[in-house]
Amino acid sequence: MRLLDAVLRRGDPLEAALPAATRDLREANDRGLAHAIAAETLRRLPDLDALIDSATRQPLPEDAKARTALRIALVQTLALGTPPHAAIATVLPLVDGGPRKLVHGVFGALTRAGVALPAVPTLPAIVGDRWREAWGEEVAQAAAQAIAAPPPLDLTLADPDGLAPEGVVLAPDQRRLVDPAPVTQLPGYAEGSWWVQDVAASLPARLLGRGPGAALDLCAAPGGKSMQLAAAGWDVTALEISPSRAARLHENLARTRLPAKVVIADALDWSPAAPVDALLIDAPCSATGIFRRHPDVLYRAHAGVVAEMAVLQARLLDRAAAWVRPGGALVYATCSLEPAEGEEQLARFLSAHADYRIDSPQAGELPEGITLHADGYVRTLPGTLADAGGCDGFFIVRLVRASA
Ligand SMILES: C[S@@+](CC[C@H](N)C(=O)[O-])C[C@H]1O[C@@H](n2cnc3c(N)ncnc32)[C@H](O)[C@@H]1O
């Protein structure tokens, strides 16, 4: 209940809310179950609410405790396989001294009626309306379908011949595992031969090719792309504003034994000592492209958040454009399904920076199934790589600065 309140009322990310919301749960398994219940509730919220509303005379207020308790009980029974008596027994204490009878009655009526959740979840209106307008009905349907189950696990290998679990080979250095064991138990984890990274998230660093040379990763933590650049032979500076996220970057570099100089600073106040050969801006964004793994973004990515992020992205791009040596490359990427954070950001940048042009990837630079847009950038959407289990939504463009 605390987790759902943090996401839906306060707009916090689910992962960030976890430590405080589960502070009374001592066992890791219990914290894992709380997370699973909250995440599954967020995947299924519009459909759970439709069921609840079908069984009450008047719709319960959005933030009523009774609605939250019913969401939690129903999602366990209808999606997580918890027996009804156990699901209701765990939520009734949440409404003690309050609408206990109502919760018990509505839950009982719905379970006796044998209700079920639809095979394809309903997209919440906040993103559904925007995505239908931007990408059309087919993509919106693919997004809804993608919410139904957690996605496969993708790994990026530091060395294509390194120790890694068996899986589908999406690129020589990219494996996909369906229904894997816990990450820390997989072969090669302890040796640091790979890290978890969706295939779409592996594209930005891939487009910078191989070193030697100086590469600056401007928004670096937790470090997936910095590690890729280091593994490709670049001399990497990894800049990150958040000390706690930079700590995770340090841990990841230590585990994989990949070298990078970590700088904790705000890219809007900091400058490099010399221009770089390769610049990666994996900018902070609404993160709507990673909704399969983080269903909370479906409820946090209001239009205002997208607009605010687009302003920050433009400031980062405009400032860092001067840090690339003539002839050097700049890759701009966001894990967002919002044109304002991708296509529109690119158009604005090109009109303001005549010294940059798009450098379209050549045949063989992209994994099979990832196609290039006619304008020379890469846009992955729900439905991309559908036969292989899909991928995150990303916008990626490689730009080159004119030689002096
Ligand atoms: C999309 S995430 C980066 C993911 C990372 N590139 C990876 O592959 O693991 C964006 C990061 O930018 C950081 N950030 C946000 N604003 C920043 C700023 N002004 N300067 C530096 N880093 C910033 C955020 O803390 C966040 O860690």
Q: Record the pTM.
A: 0.96
Mean pLDDT score, 383-399: 97
Looking at residues 369-384, what average pLDDT do you find?
A: 97
Q: What are phi and psi of 305, to 5 degrees?
A: -65, -45
Question: What is the pLDDT at residue 210?
Answer: 97
What's the rounded mean pLDDT across residues 18-46?
Answer: 96
Share of the chain above pLDDT 70, in %: 100
Mean pLDDT of 106-121: 97
Best CA proximity match to 48, nearest among 109, 113, 116: 116
Which of 198, 219, 227, 318 to mutate to test ligand 1, by most ligand atoms within 8 A of the CB atom? 219
Annotated binding-site positions: 219-225, 240, 266, 282
Enumerate the domain spans of the chain: 2-112, 153-401
Same fold for the pair 2-112 and 153-401: no
Compute CA 351 distance to the chain's CA centroid, rounded to the nearest angstrom.
Answer: 29
Cα 260 from Cα 61, distance rounded (Å): 51
The single residue listed with the structure tokens 């009655």 is 105
The ligand 1 atom at the shortest distance from the C-alpha of residue 205 is 8
What percent of the chain is predicted at pLDDT more than 90? 97
Mean pLDDT along residues 210-219: 98
- Tokens matching residue 289: 């492209």
pLDDT in tens, 152-174: 999 999 999 999 999 999 999 99
Pocket lining: 7 vs ligand 1, CB cutoff 6 Å? no
What is the Å distance from ligand 1's center to 239 Cα?
8
Query: CB of 45 closer than 6 A to ligand 1?
Result: no
Q: Is the pLDDT of residue 232 over 90?
A: yes
For 61-113, how does the pLDDT look when each residue is reduced to its tens digit (9 = 90+)?
998 999 999 999 999 999 999 999 999 999 999 999 999 999 999 999 999 99
CB atoms within 10 A of CB 169: 14
Does residue 152's CB lie within 6 angstroms of at least one atom of ligand 1?
A: no
pLDDT of residue 120: 96
Upper half-sphere CA count for residue 131 (Cβ side, 13 Å): 26
Residue 404 has pLDDT above 80, yes or no: no
- For the segment 231-247, the average pLDDT, to the nearest whole number, is 98
Q: Over range 117-129, report the average pLDDT.
A: 95
For residue 268, what pLDDT is reported?
A: 98
Does the CB atom of residue 225 touch ligand 1 within 6 A?
yes
Please tell me if the CB atom of residue 290 comes closer than 6 angstroms to any atom of ligand 1: no
Identify the residue whose C-alpha is closest to ligand 1 atom 12. Answer: 219
Q: Which residue has the tokens 């221009």?
A: 275
Ligand 1 neighbour 266 (Cβ under 6 A): yes
**Which positions are catalytic?**
335
The pLDDT score that the predictor gives to residue 124 is 95
241 Cα: distance to centroid of ligand 1 (angstroms):
7
Q: Of 160, 48, 159, give the one whose Cα is nearest residue 106.
A: 48
Rounded CA-CA distance 310/334 in Å is: 10
Q: Tell me the average pLDDT of the chain.
A: 97
CA-nearest residue for atom 10, ligand 1, is: 284
Right CATH for 2-112 from 1.10.940.10, 3.40.50.300, 3.30.465.10, 1.20.58.110? 1.10.940.10
Largest pairwise CA distance in the chain: 75
What is the CATH number assigned to the segment(s) 153-401? Answer: 3.40.50.150
- Work out the pLDDT band at 149, boundaries 50, 70, 90: confident
Dist. CA 333 → ligand 1 center (Å): 11
